[in-house]
Amino acid sequence: MTFTVAIVGRPNVGKSTLFNRLVGKRLALVDDQPGVTRDRREGDAYLFDCRFRIIDTAGLEEAFDGSLEARMRQQTERAVEEADLVLMLIDARVGVMPIDEHFAKHLRRGKTPIALMANKCEGKVGDEGLMDAYRLGLGEPIPFSAEHGLGSSDLYDVISEHMKRAAEKIAEKETTTKGFAKSIEIEDDFENSEDEFLEDDDFFEDDFEETEEDVKKRGPLQLAIVGRPNVGKSTLINKLINEDRLLTGPEAGITRDAISVEWEYEGHALKLVDTAGLRRRSKIEDKVEKLSASDTIRALKYAQVVALVLDPDGILDKQDLTIARHVIDEGRALIIVINKWDICTDKDAVMQRLKDRLLTSLPQVKGIPVVTISALKGHKLNKMLDTVLEVYRIWNIRLPTAGLNRWLAELLERHPPPAPGGRRIKLKYITQARARPPTFAISCSLPEDLPASYTRFLENNLRQTFDIPGVPLRMHMKKGD
């Protein structure tokens, strides 16, 4: 059983336009077979990585005799009968009409979940209609423009949420999670052309270096704790591993680049890479308030996740930022740990300051996780480790090619790349070339002409759409027609 979405609404609100948009010209699977009455306009729709069946009830307006109301009732009944989710459209430029209210009333009586869409919302003309739509009692309307493709990500959120819920329901009923849940899995067979593209070895920077099996076999998560002297790194490390061995012997860290300790947290093997030697040396050398770039590089060599420890008294100053940038440039996952939270008097001001600094000074990575702890008291150390595991997971993420390409196609339609000097730049396919950190490659007709701002826009949108916060993300444009 495939998840089915029905589009309903009075004539002229934009149902067919939405249908066409969701089915997409490329897939063009409109079920317009002879012998099938026009009211059976159905298609395979996709929206980013969601795939579902869509029914357009626009045809019903012509298929039945009788009053408009009678026809609408037919529409509604059929939609409610067949669909897992009903999208009811109104025309936001016109506002709510009495017939829309009738419609909503019928729908509310049914059991099928309904999402209300205020279509034709581009520009300001639709604002009033959008507000008006609330009174239909169908929840928050999704501002949309079927003609211009605006609002797709909101629609996506709604559809994917309902799909998830429906899948969960089915999974509850069946002890096995086969069947429906399987049918809404992200599909990985996109188009033939893409297969060719995937076979194009040149396109990849290198192949995935790991299989799922490899991932399982992968060694412990390597975590480094860095930060300026006196922020509390030693205290933190000691608390984490609960032993003093690390810091007792003065020789411990000095002879090597780094020493490490392995332990387990919630079933995950962790390896704490300690640059204690470096740190202690700097302490011995009259506590110079710095952590040099070369020290950080050394720490990074052994780490996958880096916890940058800060003191609330000097939140993310120039030195901290240098370290943070370094971590990001090296493609490692970063978390920010504010220590000594127990003695911090103005917590709000510290958080605000940090937020501002992240926004202005590290805008390339959105959503870097921040945790506040007290190493001394052992407060929130589990939260910190949970966050470490979470960024590590994201750092390892692998997105299916089909979903990525749907996302790209959708985005290009809405926001095509600029045409410098009238030359159109074509972006064709996208694939994730590697993980750790997530690295994507897009084939582009004129990579050198594509403005960096557009690449950044793609990166940000991808990050948001696929929920990849806080880790470095790379996007390479590869020459391809």
Known binding site: residues? 9-16, 56-60, 119-122, 227-234, 274-278, 339-342
Total residues interacting with ligand GDP, rule: CB under 6 A: 32
Give per-residue burial for 87-115: e unless 16+ CB within 10 Å, then b.
Answer: bbbbbbbbbbeeebebbbebbeeeebbbb
With CB under 6 A as the contact rule, which of the stretches 293-301, 336-344, 361-369, 381-389 interacts with ligand GDP? 336-344
* Torsion region of 467: left, alpha or beta (phi above 0 gives left; psi -120 to 50 gives alpha): left
Q: Is 68 a residue that touches ligand GDP (CB under 6 A)?
A: no
Cis ω before 437 (30° cut-off from 0)? yes
Q: Decide if residue 14 touches ligand GDP (CB under 6 A).
A: yes
Smallest distance, ligand GDP to C-beta of residue 366, A: 28
For ligand GDP, which residue of 4, 76, 260, 374 counts as binding (CB under 6 A)? 374
Phi then psi for residue 77, to 5 deg, are -60, -45
- Smallest distance from the beta carbon of 57 to ligand GDP, in angstroms? 9
Q: Does residue 340 belong to the site contacting ligand GDP (CB under 6 A)?
A: yes
Query: Which tokens hold the place of 437?
Result: 């950190």
Q: Considering the complex, state which of residue 122 and residue 295 has its C-beta at the smaller distance from ligand GDP.
A: 122
Alpha-carbon Rg for the chain in angstroms: 27
Q: Does 146 bind ligand GDP (CB under 6 A)?
A: yes
Closest residue by Cα to residue 235 from 311, 323, 289, 296: 311
Residue with smaller CB distance to ligand GDP, 152 or 374: 374
Query: Exactly one of 183, 230, 445, 461 binds ligand GDP (CB under 6 A); which one?
Result: 230
Pick from 41, 106, 162, 233 the residue near ligand GDP by CB under 6 A.
233
Nearest Cα to Cα of residue 357 among 310, 316, 322: 316
226 touching ligand GDP, by CB under 6 A: no
Q: Which of 279, 298, 326, 434 binds ligand GDP (CB under 6 A)?
A: 279
Q: Are 78 and 106 in contact (CB under 8 A)?
A: no
Exactly one of 76, 119, 304, 443 binds ligand GDP (CB under 6 A); which one? Answer: 119
* CA-wise closest residue to 39 among 3, 84, 7: 7
Cβ of residue 232: shortest distance to ligand GDP, in angstroms? 3
Closer to ligand GDP by Cβ: residue 85 or 181: 85
H runs (alpha helix) in 93-220: 98-109, 127-132, 152-173, 180-183, 192-199, 212-217
- The neighbour count for residue 266, using CB atoms within 10 Å, is 9
**What does the chain come to in residues?**
481
Alpha helices in 308-425 (DSSP H): 318-329, 347-361, 381-395, 401-414
Residues 390-449 that bind ligand GDP (CB under 6 A): none
Distance CA 463, CA 457 (A): 10
Task: Enumerate the β-bridge partners of residue 335.
Answer: 307
- Shortest Cβ distance from residue 310 to ligand GDP (Å)? 10
Cα–Cα distance measured from residue 439 to residue 432, given in angstroms and rounded to the nearest whole number: 6
User: Can residue 229 be called a binding residue for ligand GDP (CB under 6 A)?
Assistant: yes
277 or 403, CB closer to ligand GDP? Answer: 277
- By the rule CB under 6 A, 154 interacts with ligand GDP: no
Of residues 377 and 398, the one with the C-beta less far from ligand GDP:
377
Annotated binding site for GTP: 9-16, 56-60, 119-122, 227-234, 274-278, 339-342
What is the enclosing helix (H) or strand (E) of 101? Answer: helix 98-109
Task: For residue 114, give both structure tokens.
Answer: 């309904």
58 binds ligand GDP (CB under 6 A): yes
**What is the closest distance, in whole angstroms, from the C-beta atom of residue 416 to ligand GDP in the complex?**
18
Stretch that binds ligand GDP, among 6-14, 62-70, 163-171, 380-388 (CB under 6 A): 6-14
Place of tokens 């870097």: 368
Task: Give the closest residue to 276 by CA, choosing from 227, 328, 319, 243.
Answer: 227
Binding of ligand GDP at residue 339 (CB under 6 A)? yes
Site of interaction with ligand GDP (CB under 6 A): 9, 11-17, 58, 119-120, 122, 145-148, 227, 229-235, 279, 339-340, 342-343, 374-376
